[in-house]
Amino acid sequence: MWPDLIRKAKEGGLDAIETYVFWNAHEPLRRQYDFTGNLDLIRFLKTIQDEGLYSVLRIGPYVCAEWNYGGFPVWLHNQPGIEIRTANSVYMDEMQNFTTLIVDMVKQEKLFASQGGPIILAQIENEYGNVISSYGDAGKAYMNWCANMAESLDIGIPWIMCQENDAPQPIINTCNGWYCDQFTPNNENSPKMWTENWTGWFKSWGGKDPFRTAEDLAFAVARFFQNGGTFQNYYMYHGGTNFGRTAGGPYITTSYDYDAPLNEFGSLNQPKYGHLKELHGILHSIEKTITYGNISSIDFGNSVYATIYQLNDTSSCFFGNTNTTTDATVTYQGVDYQVPAWSVSILPDCKNVVYNTAKVNTQTSVMVKKINEAEDEPASLKWSWRPQVIDDTVVLGKGQVSASQLIDQKVTNDVSDYFWYMTSVNLDKDDPIWTDDMSLRVNGTGHVVHAFVNGEYLGSQWASYGIFNYVFEKKVKFNPGNNQLTLLSATIGLQNYGARFDLIDTGLPGPIEIIGKKGDESIIKDLSKHKWSYKVGLNGLDNELVYADKKFASQWQSENLPINKMMTWYKTTFKAPLGEDPVVVDMQGLGKGLAWVNGNSLGRYWPSFIAEDGCSTKPCDYRGSYDNSKCVKNCGQPTQRWYHVPRSFMKEDDNELVLFEEFGGNPSLVNFQTIRPGSVCGSAYENRDMELSCYGRVISDIKFASFGDSQGTCGSFEKGSCEATNDALSIIQNACVGKESCTVPATESVFGSTNCGKGVSKRLLVEAVC
């Protein structure tokens, strides 16, 4: 997908692609490196270069990014004597080794701008200023060491540190956030740079879908450049998918769509993509003036202000209105200009408004899912199955190692989500704890725990994003004599952010206790210091059931398909959907687990985790500061029902889907679908062109068309109080139906005069079917 994504980014008006470097992906085991396939960093940078774009290389190597363990390899945690992200020689040696490795690779290929390459900036560390106070003097010393170490690598381009107000010279400190127009660098000679403009937000299991309007995002960008900004990067412009076990959190979803201008599947997220593309074009047209021009400003009061950039005989103006409800009239050089609330108008010649952030003149695309037309019965896949053999662990308690203590799951270097804790407990009826009212109490870390006693399933528990511990407690019936207790811990991504996030417990830190209740008295037996046996992973993963050509791949059953049975493997074949549209697999009916297509991991799935309530039924108002609780969607629905299947994962003929169902579910509803625009809605203010495109398909029908003061959102437009005299519907039908795209001027010469009053902002609204 790289060339297509990069080409679309360039077409969207971007000049550079910013990327992290993920330490845990490239050095999964100490001194064992992987730069193959999708991890080929050099190939990625050269693909950017081939498209004629610049690059910003954020080496970190701590990256956050809602990525597992913040991008750190977990073996780092297990190095003797290490303290991470502070003045600790063990950590600094490892960090310098990896950073130097990356720099040397890039130098060898002559990819730094100082060598004629595309990389214009490099970043060391990441948002350390947000946590530096927690590390005291050692944190300050570490930050200065990072700067000196980076500079010693002599790459010939500037190094940056984001969110680090006291970054030492010559390191440039930069801003991250939803808005950075008020940010000021710590050195008056440093450029004002915004390394992360958050285009939306990430999603967590049980959380709502984020939505940031195109109007507000454009407003943030325009305000930044109005106030002296020189460099701005979108985080994310394309978020994509957390394939495999890369999602962090814990509880970050497999989808990392982020409501970005290019959606998870690489398609245009309209109108956000188009509205920003138009803004980028305007900014490029005045780039020289706003880079080198003299700056003056006029404060009109009531949060309305003008900024004028002047270079020789050329002037460019920004009119800003940061009111959240009140539109403003700006009088400049004898001319009145209307500036809507929470918007910026750009006048490249200080006379004519060519762009206002609140006025979207690009189409909205409503994406729909279509059945897999390559299958005769696309909703009825044929399944085989096999159980996850767990008798050795659940019944017999056989492990790989043992210890007389509870150990943190990170000791396994995070090679699997799954880690078994097993012990035996000898009880007799004379034991003080023995009663008819006994329970098992387990202190967990917020991840999933499944409990078994004497081979019988007792129960499970999990938490949600931001919860790092809970207590699982359930009544249990023990047998006189020996009892086998087995606990399966299942991680959902390791913590990726915060001061000393690397030390947050994973797995089952305990205490783990048996409680016997006798009337008002509770007697507790602490098992934490018992001899515990441990086992990493699952037999099915060890036996490589996800690969069709492996030894155990043939041992599947096709009869008596179990449903709602935990710890079960399922397998089916399917044909790749026709065409080139993005492909998703609908996991409705399943619980939680892992999925693979032709051995390629799609990531974790969890459609049974329902998103919390709290969505508003009112249309989203772009006005006012955005945060991730504003304009949310998808309440009361599965957090994530559909999962991305890249076409590069599939073959032309039969393909294989393998599922490990951890909770228990019904695979009969699973099916493959494609995603494409179902309807598109055009919007153009008066004297602008209304453009519609079905992206390779024809426009088959026009459901709504009006030129006047119509209101509403795509799919629910309504005519307003005034409208043009000509029949807008027939005009648009004649111009657009049967075509892949069309352009119609939003003018009275086309649609006739209107009876709209003075000051009414007229626009053409159209809803078309693809």
* Mean pLDDT, residues 389-405: 90
* Helix, coil or strand: residue 89: helix
Q: Quick one: pLDDT at residue 653?
A: 87
* Mean pLDDT, residues 68-95: 98
The structure tokens listed for 290 are 């706003």
The structure tokens listed for 130 are 């947000």
Beta strand 193-198 with 231-235: parallel, antiparallel or unpaired? parallel
Q: In whole angstroms, give the CA distance from residue 330 to residue 310.
A: 19
Q: In whole angstroms, give the CA distance from residue 661 to residue 664.
A: 6
Q: Quick one: pLDDT at residue 393?
A: 84
Mean pLDDT, the chain, integer: 96
Q: In whole angstroms, give the CA distance from residue 607 to residue 619.
A: 27
* Helix, coil or strand: residue 347: strand
Instruction: Give which of 406, 365, 389, 190 is closest to 275, Cα–Cα.
Output: 365
Instruction: Give which of 681, 675, 682, 715 is closest to 367, Cα–Cα.
Output: 675
Q: pLDDT band for position 759 (50/70/90)? A: confident
Q: In whole angstroms, give the CA distance from residue 72 to residue 32.
A: 14
> How far, in whole angstroms, is CA 436 from its chain's centroid?
49
Q: Quick one: pLDDT at residue 342?
A: 98
Q: Quick one: pLDDT at residue 241?
A: 98
Entry field: residues in the chain? 770
Residues 6+ apart with CB under 8 A from 660: 388, 538, 540, 541, 568, 569, 593, 594, 595
* Helix, coil or strand: residue 364: strand
* DSSP assignments along 551-616, one per residue: GGGG--B-SS---S-SSEEEEEEEEPPSSSS-EEEE-TT--SEEEEETTEEEEEE-TTSBPPS---
Q: In whole angstroms, give the CA distance from residue 126 to residue 105.
A: 21
Asked whether 476 and 438 are in contact (CB, 8 A), the reply is: yes
What percent of the chain is modeled with pLDDT above 70? 99
Indicate if the pLDDT at residue 390 is higher than 90. Answer: no
Q: Quick one: pLDDT at residue 380?
A: 82
450-475 pLDDT per residue, tens: 999 999 999 999 999 999 999 999 99
Identify the active-site residue in 94, 125, 164, 196: 196
Identify the active-site residue in 127, 278, 661, 662: 127
- CA dist 613 → 36, 465, 616 (Å): 43, 15, 9
Residues 6+ apart with CB under 8 A from 465: 204, 205, 206, 207, 249, 250, 251, 252
Q: Is 127 a catalytic residue?
A: yes
Indicate if the pLDDT at residue 344 is higher than 70. Answer: yes
What percent of the chain is modeled with pLDDT above 90? 94
Asked whether 654 and 240 are in contact (CB, 8 A), the reply is: no
pTM of the model: 0.96
Q: In whole angstroms, give the CA distance from residue 703 to residue 679.
A: 9
* Mean pLDDT, residues 185-190: 97
Q: Is 27 a catalytic residue?
A: no
Q: Quick one: pLDDT at residue 378?
A: 65
Q: pLDDT band for position 418 (50/70/90)? A: very high
* Mean pLDDT, residues 129-135: 98
Indicate if the pLDDT at residue 415 is higher than 80. Answer: yes
Q: Quick one: pLDDT at residue 548?
A: 78
> How far, in whole angstroms, is CA 718 from its chain's centroid?
34
* Mean pLDDT, residues 142-164: 98
Residue type, position 567, single letter: M
Q: In whole angstroms, give the CA distance from residue 241 to residue 231.
A: 27
Indicate if the pLDDT at residue 550 is higher than 80. Answer: no
